[in-house]
Amino acid sequence: MRRRIWLRGWLKPTADLYRHLVIAALSLVVFVAGVFITFRDQLMPIVERLINQWESWLAPLMPNAQSGTATHFFGLVLLGLGAWGVFQGMQHFVAKIAGQEEGKPGVISDYMRKQKLARGPRVVAIGGGSGLSTLLRGLKQHTSNITAIVTVTDDGGSSGRLVSDLGIIPPGDIRNCLVALADAEKRMSDIFQHRFTKGAGALAGHSVGNLLLAGFIERAGGDVDTALGLASGVLAIRGQVVPSTREHVRLRALLQDGTEIEGETAIVSSGKQIQKLYLSPDTACAHPSALKAIEEADVICIGPGSVYTSIIPNLLFPDMVNAIVKSKAKKFYICNVMTQKGESESFTAAEHVRAIMNHVSGRVFDYVLVNTGSPTEQILHRYREYEQDYVVPDIDSIKHLGFKTVAGNYMSETDYVRHDPFKVATRIFEMVEK
């Protein structure tokens, strides 16, 4: 008795609410019952006549036993066509509201594509210069899980001046990689790459992107990682760009004649064959984010790029080499298409591989992508005027060194002979899928 009195007292403040809820529930039941009765008495005869008419149309084509199956099939076809039309209409409507330009993927298609790229393999690309940025343009078509590890020993041009004036790491190769991975509008990428001409005074020779990166670094209090996060957000890049080290390092070389020289620009312009490269200071460590990306990678790509100034400097960090050697990823070296003056004159593909092997302790790649396509004689003649030549694909010599070769025509020939980033990336991902 006391419990019933307590329950009534507890429900009393909400008695009106519960009364209205009960009335609403009963009203819904009555309404549904009314709909059912109306359907049975008024609509069902019409539906039965339509079914009979439909079966009479199907009778000449198939037995009555199969008319239900045919009806299901026809209904599914109409449902599919209707759903596809609604999807296309929604996509067009959303794109129109969002100001989508004609000829570009719709908003929904773009979203689906980004979701697919987000599920792609984790790729680490190691290098510098134009070679790495070219490769990234192909890789980002297959995955957005990309980490570009960029060399930071450049001491010439705009980068060298900013290093000297502001004490920052060289921004040039980092800028190129950011732009290569950019998903922002082309106009924004073009602004980043714009270079001031001679009439610009103190700005002459500087690119807008280098100056912006310098500004981001200063705004971040010298924190390069924070600065790169800001720049990555501006360009909406797919993946991340990481310098090979946070420390200020310079490149030193022991030349073939026994002399030593310091500075990347001085080494290349010396005109002498390089025997061995070192970093100054030799205690520098690789960037922790680079090591973590290597550890988690499914694919590691080394190159393409200048073998002595873009590739090997990244491999002079013992901790980075150890991480690559231990990695379970598929590891590729993408050999250059053309030789480079001051670094690799007359080098064959196998000699590029030997140069890397002479600087690392361990196996940092298993596959060597070798270009077998040949430039035209007209293009070759122009390159030879600048003491550059075609890299001979001596595949047998590479195999004798213990590496697997992935040969093919990976060349893109316009005014310059370079790798076709889409051919290279497609071949790499074919290998990964196998």
Report pLDDT for 186.
76
- In total, how many domains does the chain have? 2
Nearest to 356 by CA among 334, 330, 338: 334
10, pLDDT greater than 50: no
State the number of CA atoms in the 13 A half-sphere of 315 facing the CB: 28
Same domain, 51 and 189: no
Say whether both 52 and 172 belong to one domain. no
Rounded to two decimals, the pTM is 0.77
Evaluate whether residue 390 is within a structural domain. yes
Greater confidence (257 vs 111) lies with 257
Residue 399's Cα: distance from chain center in Å? Answer: 30
Last residue of a domain, one of 54, 70, 97: 97
| Amino acid in position 423 | K
Residue 250 and residue 239 in contact, taking contact as beta carbons nearer than 8 Å = no
Q: Same structural domain for residues 6 and 140?
A: no
Q: Are residues 207 and 290 in the same domain?
A: yes
Domain boundary among 97, 125, 160: 97
Is residue 135 a part of any domain in this protein? yes
Four-residue CA torsion sign, 288, 291, 295, 299 = positive
Cβ neighbours, 10 Å, residue 426: 15
Q: Are residues 299 and 342 in the same domain?
A: yes
Who wins on pLDDT, 120 or 69? 120
Please report whether residue 13 resides in a domain.
yes
CB 315, CB 360: distance < 8 Å: yes
Domain carrying residue 43: 2-97
| Same-domain pairing of 163 and 200 | yes
Which residue's entry shows tokens 């924070």?
Answer: 226
Same domain flag for 176 and 316: yes
429 plus 319 within the same structural domain: yes
Q: How large is the average pLDDT for residues 230-247?
A: 92
Please say if the pLDDT value at position 122 is more than 60.
yes
Q: What are phi and psi of 120, to 5 degrees?
A: -75, 170
Task: State how far the Cα of 434 lies from the Cα of 43, in Å rounded to an integer.
Answer: 59
- Do 332 and 392 have their domain in common? yes
Q: CA-to-CA distance for 240 and 233, rounded, in angstroms?
A: 10
Give the pLDDT score at 69. Answer: 67
- The reply to whether 61 and 179 lie within a common domain is no
Q: DSSP secondary-structure letter at 401?
A: T
Residue 299 in any domain: the answer is yes
Cβ atoms < 10 Å from Cβ of 370 = 26
| Whether residue 143 is found in the same domain as residue 92 | no
Give pLDDT, residue 197: 84
DSSP state of 415: S
156-185 tens-digit pLDDT: 889 999 998 899 999 999 999 999 999 866
Q: Which of 68, 97, 126 is the C-terminal boundary of a domain?
A: 97
Most confident of 72-86, 138-152, 210-224: 138-152
Per the CB < 8 A criterion, the answer to whether 405 and 398 are in contact is yes
Closest listed residue to residue 244, CA positions, set 179, 183, 184, 323: 323
pLDDT over 50 (residue 331): yes
Among 109-118, 156-165, 308-317, 390-399, the range scoring the smallest mean pLDDT is 109-118
Please check the confidence at residue 90 and state whether its pLDDT lies above 80. no
In 194-317, which ranges are E strands? 240-243, 250-255, 260-262, 274-280, 299-302
Is 425 in contact with 141 (CB distance < 8 Å)?
Answer: yes
Which among 48-52, 103-107, 253-257 has the top mean pLDDT? 253-257
Mean pLDDT taken over the chain: 86
Evaluate whether residue 105 is within a structural domain.
no
- CATH number (domain holding residue 358): 3.40.50.10680
Domain identity same for 83 and 152:
no
Let me know if residue 102 belongs to a domain: no
Parallel/antiparallel/unpaired status of strands 411-413 and 417-419: antiparallel
